Structure 1
Amino acid sequence: MIRHRRRAASLLPRPVSAAAAVLCLIAALGGCSGGKRSGGASPTANAEKKPNIVFVLTDDLSWNLVAHMPQVRQMQQGGLTFDNFFVADSLCCTSRATIFTGRYPHNTGVRTNFPPDGGYGVFKARGGEQTAFAPELQKAGYSTALFGKYLNGYQPGDTQGGSKPYVPPGWNEWYVTGNGYPEYDYNLNENGRLVRYGHAPQDYLTDVLSTKATGFVQRAAASRQPFYMQVATFAPHGPFVPAPRHAAAFGTLRAPRTPSFNETDVRDKPSWLRPHPRLRTPGLRAIDRGFRDRVRMVQAVDEMIAKLRQTLAAQNLDRDTYLVFGSDNGFHMGEHRLAGGKMTAFDTDIRVPVVVTGPGIRPGRRTSALTQNTDLAPTFLDLAGAPVPPAADGRSLVPFLRDTEPPDWRDVALVEHVKPLPSPEDPDRQDSAPGAPPTYNALRLRDGLYVEYQSGEREYYDLVHDPDQLVNQAARLTPDRQRQLSALLYALTHCAGATCTSASRTR
């Protein structure tokens, strides 16, 4: 039964065993060394008081929006910014499955947003809910809560054979919807009770999540139990609906005209991109409108962050709480002649902002280390003093919070993307239309980007001299360098657990 709220209330998976056979081919890049996978003992593992963790996860938020978010900029001034944080795939469900488990898409089995090769159903069938970090946090004594978005395909009213709407294992409190993209007219599974929200101004989803999240912080403070809270907004994902109070703001703002914007010459690009014509006035105007609405949308997110920070301070929890801000993937708007979307291997899509504040973090720090969303689950577990599962492909970021980069840290990040099948239910269907990138695997190195498409085409960009990824130099790679990069990519797309750590080091 749906209860109406009262207005006054608040590339396909591959066998893992193949990795060992190619690791030594990476010797020319300096690979094949071993090393510890974790960041060492948790700084709080032996402490009597465990830290709280608040994770604000946005949807499709690109780096160029941060300039318009004063609270996030304040977090940067008071905390640590990861300047080279990359997602394992620039697609919602695939990235979120990786965040929950610390595993690459070829190990989660979630390659797209919907079956047969992705979505919530595949995540659940592959044991993702049991291997996610939330049950382990509960075992470590944490109260856990999720607000907003879970995984594509999750239906808040589905009982999963039970007597009431299903709540996955590991969560003490659950306020989740399935289709919050329009920000209005949605159902929220509130701890197993389905509540309907309409189209009134107070039903704006980001604001509802803000109110409910601050309420959880207040309850958690009273209980004195450490907590993990994830607030996963649908903003700024399309259809780009800002809160009414922000609808007229930023009236003259335009999308940034970076060197790659409406790229002049794409003759060196792969075949899926070459046919794209230069954007003309109507398309440019649409991009500018979309960018303005995205900036407007994140104002409510920024206000939510302010409210959370104020509530933590009022409850005397700010000194005991790690606040993490991030996004599931980036977004392009006009770069390389592409209208709004994601899924490519360009930095616009795979590089996302991640900022952390909390105890022991020196203010105003930045790190250029290559970090990934595979590292988030190990980090949360490490902070909680819980063991990091051997199956995790990522590593704890706790050393970085303590102003230290492990000497054996990765110097290459893996990106793997399977082109989704067209689906009318897919909120990202506009990005998987003809002209979107085909299936590919990619390496993001410190100084380069290497892409192998299923078609056999390749891209390589020298990021030292070409940070905007304008000149594809794949044809200029020496045969030895080509073999080295292919071997490294093969090893990473076949890795699991500790072998991912070994394969990601080329020194």
Structure 2
Amino acid sequence: MYRRRTRPRGRRAPGRAPGRTGVWLALGALLLAGATACGDGGSGKAAEESAAPSAPPSADSGEADSQRNIVFVLTDDLSEDLVEYMPHVEEMRKQGLSFADYTVTDSLCCPSRSSIYTGKYPHNTGVFTNTPPDGGFDVFHEKGNEDHTFATSLKERGYRTAMMGKYLNRYEPDMTVGGEKNYVPPGWDEWAVAGNGYPEYDYTLNENGRTVKYGHEPEDYLTDVVSRKGQDFVTESAKDGKPFVLDISTFAPHGPATPAPEDEEKFASLKAPRPPSFDKLPEDAPKWLAQKKPLPEKQLKKIDRNHRERVRSVQAVDRMIGDLQDRLKKEGVYEDTVFVFASDNGFHMGEYRLTPGKQTAFDTDVNVPLIVTGPGVPEGRTSHAVVGNIDLAPTFTALGGGTPASEVDGRSLVPLLGGETPKDWPRAALIEHHGAKDTAEDPDRPRKGSGNPPGYEAIRTADATYVEYADGSREFYDRRRDPDQLHNTYGELSGERKKELARQVAALRSCEGAKECGGAAGS
């Protein structure tokens, strides 16, 4: 099934890593080269709100030499409506920069994570689903994507790298790849990754090439286990004196959304939100959605129950964030660390008459939280620039003082983290989805009534969403006037506007590299 690839396993650069001053001078050059007064990526909104950003360290600041450390917490299926129950994440919003128009390349785990690691759209990673022949770890590996991730990039620049929690669908801790037993991908110094970690108990971790089984005791709860390991990695890295990147990817709040023992009885009377789109069909709904009936009372109760479970399960994630921040402060590296919180995709819970699920192009599924704190990042502000998960890998590379490869489709967010939006910033994000397969091994296979749209491509701007389905259906939502996406106005568009949208989708779904993809996105 797998073939061994000839590749560098990454190497640690000799001597001390490039100094902080040099890194910030390089990042400053990016700001000066690409930025103008705060714009909005063409959205017509203010690009940022509230106070001005603090300045990065100056050349004569006298602070210790170091590159920016990176802590990246990636959650699974976390939607915006859960953030209000996460006080540490809410505090991150006060301390940092939130991205209101952050869009994932697909509202499905494996293709989204593939884009995060590589900075590429699904049509360039080859990963469109969670299973072969067009998805899963198998395809990610066979296409050579593991050789070109933010981990390999940062490791080459002398970073200590760690990956903990969930990797890609179909990765198993004890798998043999190319003759390597208990396979660990290139670029990672520390590796503590599970296969089926969704229940949070009774799982196996691959710990640096050694499989370790965990049971059902309170101390085995997976989110807490990776939290402890992440804190230990911070301490070890601080002692080592090298810059580091820590990727902790939780299985929460993905179903079954098992809470930690101390959270099992919380939020007993909580009900799921009932936004205007709850149990409503859009006007002129696409074919796959148009015949949905109102949700029965039994399903409404189940939705409320699932929402409570999801809220309970993210309590441990929120504590983990607080514990990681405390450890960073204790070790004296918090002020040198960029902390990033995000989700691989969203989740609908009764909106559009859909039972709990994802995979649609509605904002419930593709527009998820992205919050960043750190040195020089504006406090308590919101950016309305159109950004995507393809932008994370080049951002991490740039924070490490590197230059993203030309074949990467995304762009570094460093200018935006400095409080500026370049004039040529892309105005549209591409979403690519292959119709899901009903495969028993796929934890994301669509449940009855949850929504299984046919394959589609979509573009999402700060103001609108346009979708082209394989069955010929089309959708257009003007989210300025219709933020809940209940009025499909595609039929009201002019013929020229329809052609323009079709041309843009065609250009984006075949683009390669930031320059070409940015041009297709209207930069």
TM-score, normalization: structure 2? 0.87
> Deviation at 1:44?
9.1
Code of the residue aligned with 1:170 in structure 2: it is: G
The one of 273, 295, 301 aligned to 1:279: 295
CA contact (8 A) 1:331 1:340 kept: yes
Cα distance 1:62–1:45, how it changes in 2: closer, same or farther (>3 A)?
A: farther
Q: Does 1:461 align with 2:461?
A: no
The one of 302, 319, 325 aligned to 1:303: 319
Structure 2 SS opposite 1:152: coil
2:516 match: 499
CA contact (8 A) 1:343 1:431 kept: no
> Deviation at 1:277?
0.8
2:338 match: 322
CA contact (8 A) 1:45 1:384 kept: no
Equivalent residues in 2 for 1:135-284, closer than 5 Å? 135-162=152-179, 164-263=181-280, 265-266=281-282, 268-284=284-300
- Equivalent-residue separation in structure 2 for 1:496 and 1:432 (angstroms): 36
Cα shift readout 1:286-318 (whole Å, capped 9, x = no counterpart) = 000000110000000000001000000000011
- Equivalent-residue separation in structure 2 for 1:430 and 1:451 (angstroms): 20
1:393 match: 409
Q: Does 1:422 align with 2:466?
A: no
Code of the residue aligned with 1:355 in structure 2: it is: I
Structure 1 SS opposite 2:465: strand
Q: Which runs of 4+ in 1 moved over 4 A?
A: 38-47, 431-435
Cα shift readout 1:196-228 (whole Å, capped 9, x = no counterpart) = 001111111101110110011110110011000
Structure 1 SS opposite 2:290: coil
Moved more, 445-454 or 432-441: 432-441
> Deviation at 1:266?
4.3
Moved more, 347-356 or 420-429: 420-429
Cα distance 1:411–1:432, how it changes in 2: closer, same or farther (>3 A)?
A: farther
CA contact (8 A) 2:99 2:383 kept: yes
Cα shift readout 1:303-338 (whole Å, capped 9, x = no counterpart) = 000100000000001100000000000000010111
> Deviation at 1:275?
1.7
- Equivalent-residue separation in structure 2 for 1:70 and 1:434 (angstroms): 30
CA contact (8 A) 1:156 1:178 kept: yes
- Equivalent-residue separation in structure 2 for 1:402 and 1:266 (angstroms): 39
> Deviation at 1:267?
5.4
Instruction: State how many pairs are aligned.
Output: 468
Cα distance 1:432–1:315, how it changes in 2: closer, same or farther (>3 A)?
A: farther
The one of 105, 110, 113 aligned to 1:88: 105
RMSD of aligned alpha carbons? 1.8
> Deviation at 1:410?
1.1
> Deviation at 1:362?
2.2
> Deviation at 1:447?
1.6
CA contact (8 A) 2:116 2:389 kept: yes
CA contact (8 A) 2:96 2:379 kept: yes
The one of 486, 499, 502 aligned to 2:502: 486
Structure 2 SS opposite 1:273: helix
The one of 385, 388, 394 aligned to 1:369: 385
Cα shift readout 1:390-441 (whole Å, capped 9, x = no counterpart) = 1100000001111111111111111110012221100001358895111000
> Deviation at 1:240?
1.6
The one of 78, 85, 94 aligned to 1:77: 94
Cα distance 1:45–1:125, how it changes in 2: closer, same or farther (>3 A)?
A: farther
Code of the residue aligned with 1:101 in structure 2: it is: T
Code of the residue aligned with 1:60 in structure 2: it is: D
Equivalent residues in 2 for 1:349-368, closer than 5 Å? 349-368=365-384
> Deviation at 1:162?
3.8
CA contact (8 A) 1:177 1:186 kept: yes
The one of 112, 129, 133 aligned to 2:129: 112
Code of the residue aligned with 2:162 in structure 1: it is: A
Equivalent residues in 2 for 1:3-82, closer than 5 Å? 48-82=65-99
CA contact (8 A) 1:39 1:397 kept: no
CA contact (8 A) 2:159 2:245 kept: yes
Q: Does 1:407 align with 2:423?
A: yes
- Equivalent-residue separation in structure 1 for 2:112 and 2:455 (angstroms): 16
Code of the residue aligned with 1:395 in structure 2: it is: R
- Equivalent-residue separation in structure 2 for 1:41 and 1:368 (angstroms): 21
Code of the residue aligned with 1:443 in structure 2: it is: I
Code of the residue aligned with 1:243 in structure 2: it is: A
The one of 96, 100, 112 aligned to 2:117: 100
1:477 match: 493
Q: Does 1:345 align with 2:358?
A: no
CA contact (8 A) 1:206 1:233 kept: yes
Code of the residue aligned with 1:177 in structure 2: it is: A
- Equivalent-residue separation in structure 1 for 2:104 and 2:479 (angstroms): 18
Structure 2 SS opposite 1:430: coil
Code of the residue aligned with 1:505 in structure 2: it is: G
TM-score, normalization: structure 1? 0.90
> Where does structure 1 lack aligned partners over 5 or more consecutive residues?
1-37
Code of the residue aligned with 1:326 in structure 2: it is: A
2:458 match: 442
Cα shift readout 1:79-126 (whole Å, capped 9, x = no counterpart) = 111111000100000000000000000010000001010000100000
Cα distance 1:132–1:458, how it changes in 2: closer, same or farther (>3 A)?
A: same
Code of the residue aligned with 1:76 in structure 2: it is: R
CA contact (8 A) 2:78 2:253 kept: yes
> Where does structure 2 lack aligned partners over 5 or more consecutive residues?
1-29, 35-55
- Equivalent-residue separation in structure 1 for 2:415 and 2:477 (angstroms): 30
- Equivalent-residue separation in structure 2 for 1:39 and 1:455 (angstroms): 44
Cα distance 1:40–1:425, how it changes in 2: closer, same or farther (>3 A)?
A: farther
- Equivalent-residue separation in structure 1 for 2:462 and 2:218 (angstroms): 45
